[in-house]
Amino acid sequence: MDDQGPDIRLDTATLRVLAHPVRLTVLNLLRERGPATATGIAAELGINPGAASYHLRRLAAGGLIVEDADLGTGRDRWWRAAHRQSIHDPSAGPAEQRAAGRSYTHALVLSRIEQLRRAAEEVPLLPPEWADVSTYGDFTLTLAPAEVARLRAELFDVIRRYRDAPASAAGVPVSVQVQAFPVPGTVPLGGAPE
């Protein structure tokens, strides 16, 4: 969205705010669809308006969303995302930030699962032009950590080119998910981060 600020690099405090799948989902809704009220978000997510309002206040306290004073009446508070995208490097920062990053990543995975569940409900109903181009790929590669890092960087470069290009007049928000992680059960687990 044109009126959103630049990307935000998540610090320990914002990672902690976003370490809840509902808050991540709310933030993504505001980024994808524009300003909304607690009532609208509650209806969209099937939660009660009080819970939606609580999560909106937490996101606002973290500087991730702002009130849109140009919309609504005295009763309705409209909120919009303050940034286009959140950036988190799990390998950067002090131990406290890395621990908060793991909690954020856990919440992010749970949030994406919910988005995929909602997408699965719509797959049979998609118009042919969208059904024909949508993709739900799953590839198992044998890679070392350095190769995963290189793959991630290359994929993000491609995504960045499309994100930074002028928006198509016929375009709609499209979720592009990139996941790269060891197949569960194949890497010895070491417990808590350093």
Sign of CA dihedral 61, 63, 65, 68: positive
Report the alpha-carbon distance of residue 42 to residue 53 in Å, rounded. 8
CA dist list (Å): 19 to 52, 53, 107, 146, 175: 16, 17, 5, 27, 20
Model pLDDT, residue 1: 33
DSSP, residue by residue, 59-89? HHHTTSEEE-TTSS-SSPPPEEESBS-EE--
Q: Report domain extents, the chain.
A: 8-130
Average pLDDT over residues 87-115: 87
pLDDT in tens, 47-67: 999 999 999 999 999 999 999
Average pLDDT over residues 108-121: 87
Confidence class of residue 192 from pLDDT cuts 50, 70 and 90?
low
Give the fold, CATH level 3, of 8-130: Arc Repressor Mutant, subunit A (1.10.10)
Model pLDDT, residue 64: 96
- Calculate what percentage of the chain has a pLDDT beyond 90: 43
Report the alpha-carbon distance of residue 51 to residue 57 in Å, rounded. 10
Is-contact 19 102, C-beta < 8 A?
no
Tokens at 175, concatenated: 């979720």
Report the alpha-carbon distance of residue 4 to residue 38 in Å, rounded. 19
User: What pTM did the predictor assign?
Assistant: 0.75
Q: Is the pLDDT of residue 9 over 70?
A: yes
Identify which has the larger pLDDT, 38 or 172.
38
Model pLDDT, residue 134: 87
pLDDT in tens, 118-155: 888 888 898 888 888 888 888 899 999 999 999 999 99
- Calculate what percentage of the chain has a pLDDT beyond 70: 95
Q: Is the pLDDT of residue 178 over 60?
A: yes
Identify which has the larger pLDDT, 158 or 167.
158
pLDDT in tens, 68-95: 888 877 678 999 999 988 888 887 788 8
